[in-house]
A and B are shown apart, each in its own frame.
Chain A
Amino acid sequence: MSAGRQLIVVLVAVASLGASVYVKAQNRGAPPPTATPKASAPIDLTGYWVAFVTEDWRYRMVTPPKGDYRGVPITKEALQIVNAWDPKADEAAGNQCKSYGAAAIMRVPGRIHVTWQDDDTLRLDTDAGMQTRLLRFASSPATEGKPTWQGDSAARWERPAAGRGSAPPPRFGSLTVVTTNLRAGYLRKNGVPYSENARVTEYFDVAPQPNGGQLLVVTTVVDDPRYLTQSFIVSSHFKKEADGSKWDPTPCSATW
């Protein structure tokens, strides 16, 4: 083979590799374009999960003392609400679910049940407070109506990029959820507030347990220009349960 032909062979090989890389880079682990969020889920969040309370125990497992907002970067305006907290008044006003809103609910000790309501909507129910969250994957946001405890949640899958020239990626990834249009509520049971302007960003990750079970980690970032001086960030973890035999729906309570 002449030198010129050999060079052409090398160049063609490099070009082919480049084309292959280009095509794969476009996909980068993405599912076929017609796949629904349900069909293309990189991780399985469905099932029953129980909170494993190893952090903030004093603020979650019991109702902490009035006026205790340790660790929450609140504003002066929020401090007035903290010091005015009256659980009986909340109960009387029908606001017993103020500490079960989207900014706090993943921190409430209890179980969550995750199911697919339809191809585009992940449904998350809680037994503590009997709340329902709808995490919508639809590209167009839901029309915002009246603020609610659980607000409007926009969800999307995050996936790792595929390697060049490698096989399709394993099913790794995470879920990102952004929630707005919230009714004002409490970050903690004892009246540490968030306002209707709060924006809640959550990241859902799963991991295996050493003994074969599964863990769910939910990182929650609450931004609230009115009541927080900086982001309030907590990460909560859950263990997967085999079934719903321990599911115990309990209504909201402002006093416990």
Chain B
Amino acid sequence: MGSDTVLRNMVTIRPSLALLVLLWASADRHVFAQAELAGSWAARNTEDISRDSYPVDYVGLPLNDEGRTRALSYNESQLAMIERQCEGWPAFYFVQGPFGLKIWNDTDPITGTPISWTIGAWEDRAPMVIWMDGRPHPSRYAEHTRGGFTTGRWEGTTLVAYTTHMKAGFLRKNGPPSSDQAALTSRFFRHGDMLTVLAVIEDPIYLAEPEIVTKSFQLSAAPISPIGPPCVSAFEGRRPGESVPHYAPENNPFVDELTKIFHIPREAVLGGAETLYPEYRKKIKDTYVRPEPCKRDCGAPPLR
């Protein structure tokens, strides 16, 4: 084959070549100024954010009166009801629970542009699919699910996700509620092998101001499963049709438990925006008495 033939063949395919160049440049523009989030991210849990080990412990939550009342009516025996055992937790549990994150993306097979990012599920939390393709959120009357509906965009190297359409659920496992009008804005900041997630939860029904949670994860060589084991409900002593376990809010027997153990004022135990600012620390300075030395659940035994 002569050189003229080679040239002719190349020129014949020039529209395809130009198209490839355009696609390459276009795809690359999307990839730059973003961050790779795919992988397994381990939770180190060196900060206590879920705080659900006591029945009434709402410290750090900006609950309003309605949220506080609902929380005090909660009885954890509700989870023994067969129809509630597998109901799971809302989307924001991914920064409140103790587990790591498995994150991956699905891309357009031609341009390589991410269509969505997904945070894998746990046993008690649905996967979070973050749609990146510009689709709108559904109508406000559309079905609400446990995981909600999430869209995302990039701000530099930060992925910003916005979640709506969650079912009513809980801000913590010990009863502080979230409504079906709650919305979650998540920001994923990657710094090397560190991923910090900022979660801002807005709820016009139960919160006096947005709840803000941050949690950091470390990139892990050990794979984290993208799904949890299936939830299997079983009879745990409460028959279908029996009453829903609850407390009259004014008679919750655990309301003073944290005050007795840790000497934390009841108003702080019950949550409230005022208790989250430094002024509150100064307010209780002269009345707070440090508890006796810790005797149980003081920390994990040192490994070395």
Measured CB to CB, the closest approach of chain A to B49, in angstroms, equals 5
Report the nearest B residue to A62, measured CB to CB.
Answer: B288
Report the number of A-B residue pairs with Cβ-Cβ less than 8 Å. Answer: 228
The answer to whether B180 has its CB under 8 Å from any CB of chain A is no
Measured CB to CB, the closest approach of chain A to B36, in angstroms, equals 12
Does A65 lie within 8 Å of B262, measured CB to CB? yes
The answer to whether B47 has its CB under 8 Å from any CB of chain A is yes
Measured CB to CB, the closest approach of chain A to B37, in angstroms, equals 14
Report the nearest A residue to B200, measured CB to CB.
Answer: A210
Measured CB to CB, the closest approach of chain A to B176, in angstroms, equals 12
Cα-based distance from A230 to B60 in the complex (angstroms): 27
Q: A169-B33, A210-B185 are in contact. Are A70 and B48 (CB under 8 A)?
A: yes
Q: A66-B293, A128-B278 are in contact. Are A203 and B196 (CB under 8 A)?
A: yes
The tally of residues in A whose CB lies under 8 Å from a CB in B reads: 79
Q: A7-B14, A176-B191 are in contact. Are A65 and B292 (CB under 8 A)?
A: yes
Does B46 lie within 8 Å of A55, measured CB to CB? no
**A52-68 vs B: 1/0 string, CB under 8 Å?**
11111111011111111
**A67-97 vs B: 1/0 string, CB under 8 Å?**
1111111111011000000000000000000
The answer to whether A51 has its CB under 8 Å from any CB of chain B is yes
Q: A71-B46, A219-B194 are in contact. Are A229 and B294 (CB under 8 A)?
A: no
Report the nearest A residue to B292, measured CB to CB.
Answer: A65
The tally of residues in B whose CB lies under 8 Å from a CB in A reads: 75
Among the stretches B133-141, B230-238, B248-256, B295-303, the one at the interface with A is B295-303
Which has the most chain A C-beta neighbours within 10 Å: B33, B62, B215?
Answer: B33
Q: Which of B60, B157, B202 contacts A55 (CB 8 A)?
A: B60
The answer to whether B263 has its CB under 8 Å from any CB of chain A is yes
Measured CB to CB, the closest approach of chain B to A74, in angstroms, equals 6
Interface of chain A residues 19 through 74 with chain B (CB within 8 A): 29, 50-59, 61-74
Does A166 lie within 8 Å of B277, measured CB to CB? no
The answer to whether B7 has its CB under 8 Å from any CB of chain A is yes
The answer to whether A10 has its CB under 8 Å from any CB of chain B is yes
Which has the most chain A C-beta neighbours within 10 Å: B210, B276, B279?
Answer: B276
Q: Which residues of B contact A256 (CB under 8 A)?
A: 285, 288
Q: Which of B4, B45, B194, B268 contacts A203 (CB 8 A)?
A: B194
Report the nearest B residue to A169, measured CB to CB.
Answer: B33
The answer to whether B198 has its CB under 8 Å from any CB of chain A is yes
Q: Which residues of B contact A123 (CB under 8 A)?
A: none
Q: Which residues of A contact B25 (CB under 8 A)?
A: 17, 164-165
Does A53 lie within 8 Å of B156, measured CB to CB? no
The answer to whether A138 has its CB under 8 Å from any CB of chain B is no
Q: Which of A10, A74, A159, A210 contacts B299 (CB 8 A)?
A: A74
Measured CB to CB, the closest approach of chain B to A117, in angstroms, equals 24
Measured CB to CB, the closest approach of chain A to B43, in angstroms, equals 10
Cα-based distance from A217 to B200 in the complex (angstroms): 12
Q: A7-B7, A66-B294, A256-B285 are in contact. Are A235 and B214 (CB under 8 A)?
A: yes
Cα-based distance from A130 to B48 in the complex (angstroms): 26
Cα-based distance from A203 to B45 in the complex (angstroms): 18
Does A69 lie within 8 Å of B210, measured CB to CB? no
Q: A62-B263, A75-B302 are in contact. Are A52 and B194 (CB under 8 A)?
A: no
Does B215 lie within 8 Å of A3, measured CB to CB? no
**A223-256 vs B: 1/0 string, CB under 8 Å?**
0000001111111110000000010101000001
Does B281 lie within 8 Å of A3, measured CB to CB? no
Which has the most chain A C-beta neighbours within 10 Å: B25, B278, B294, B295?
Answer: B278
Pull 5 A–B residue pairs with CB atoms less than 8 Å apart, ordered by A.
A10-B17, A54-B61, A56-B47, A207-B198, A256-B288
